[in-house]
Amino acid sequence: MAVEFSTDRPPSPLKPPVWTWEVPLYFFVGGVAGLSAVIALAASLTGEAAATVAAARGVATAGAVVSPMLLIADLGRPARFLYMLRVFKWTSAMSVGAWTLAVFSGATFVALGLWWLAPDGPAWRAALAAADLTAAGAGLVLATYTGVLLGATVIPVWAAHHRMLPFEFGISSLGAAASLVELLGGFTVPLNRVAMAAAAIETALWVYRARKPGSGTQGPRTANHAPRTAHRAPRTAGLLSGPTALILRLAGLAFLPARAGAAAAAIAGSLLLRYGWLAAGRAKV
């Protein structure tokens, strides 16, 4: 009598991420806010129009308010959110990020307050400059560290792209930040340059990925390879913030309304990129 026992492979032991919609939304908001602060610094230093500076500062501050709210809402025990600041650990990208957000929020509020009140005197100006620099520095971290956070996990599809995610998140946020400041504060030449550069870099990334499926992956091979469909949302996002935005920007040189379309594409692409990567990580662990 032949006995057939099942010899199929046991399921993957890894646990899927428990994060919900607040987390990818925070990735987007934090990134846009952080790089708006960088734009605000550059715009103030070069004497850009008040509307542009105001829009950039506004986006940075709004993001500094919304971001902690999103993160707190995602916690299993939201009332304990301050425990994030009990310790600082280099080994935890989340610890670095929590502190960076705290510093960013503080600096942004101080900068907005000083800028709006506009008190006289070199000391106040120096304080504003310090706040702006701090916010910009923290903003650069804010826009890229979430890629480090995802990459430094055991989730195969995230771990495989740990060298690409931080850079990609940063560039995506740059295009979205410039676009949002444009839509709120007016279309200016420098903002167009920034957005076009971001779209060009995104296009290069998209072309590189499209030519070689699964390219840009590094890290240990795991028993369960993430299926190619896991990459579909991030690729669509890249298509929006890359070639679509770039083409519309180029068209916008002749036909101004196309710039608004480009801005929308960059913002949508940046948002979709975050949701796409979170979904990919949950899809097959």
- Contact set for other proteins, span 133-192 (CB under 8 A): 140-141, 143-145, 147-149, 151-155, 158-159, 162-171, 174, 190-191
Among 51, 62, 73, 94, binds other proteins (CB under 8 A): 94
The 8-class DSSP code of residue 49 comes to -
Cβ-based nearer residue to other proteins, 112 or 164: 164
Stretch that binds other proteins, among 59-67, 82-90, 228-236, 266-274 (CB under 8 A): 82-90
What's the token pair of residue 247? 């083409």
Q: Distance between CA 138 and CA 99 in Å, rounded?
A: 9
Residue 177 near residue 68 (C-beta atoms within 8 A): no
Which of the residues 61 through 80 are near other proteins (CB under 8 A)? Answer: 74-78, 80
CB of 64 or CB of 140, closer to other proteins: 140
Per-residue binding letters, 195-214, with other proteins (x by CB under 8 A): --xx--x-------------
Taking alpha carbons only, the member of 196, 201, 198, 180 closest to residue 251 is 196
Site residues for other proteins, 43-62, by CB under 8 A, read 43, 45-46, 48
To the nearest whole angstrom, how small is the minimum distance from the Cβ of residue 119 to other proteins? 25
d(CA 253, CA 93): 40
Other Cβ atoms within 10 Å of 228 Cβ, number: 10
CB of 140 to other proteins, least distance (A): 4
Where residue 181 falls (left for φ over 0; alpha for ψ -120 to 50; beta otherwise) is alpha
**Residue range at the interface with other proteins (CB under 8 A); choices 62-70, 101-109, 217-225, 237-245:** 217-225
By beta-carbon proximity to other proteins, the closer residue of 3 and 117 is 3
Structure-token match 């550059």, residue found: 42
Restricting to residues 247-266, name those near other proteins by CB under 8 A.
Answer: none
Which one, 55 or 194, has the nearer CB to other proteins?
194
Closest among 252, 239, 272 to 196, alpha carbons compared: 252
> According to CB under 8 A, which residues from 105 to 134 bind other proteins?
none
Residue 12 interacts with other proteins (CB under 8 A): yes or no: yes
Residue 1 binding other proteins, by CB under 8 A: no
Note the helical H segments in the chain.
Answer: 22-45, 50-74, 93-117, 122-151, 156-160, 165-185, 189-211, 232-239, 245-252, 257-283
Structure tokens, 141: 């971290």
Residue among 68 and 170 whose Cβ is closer to other proteins = 170
Please check whether residue 268 is in contact with residue 242, taking contact to mean a CB–CB distance below 8 angstroms: no
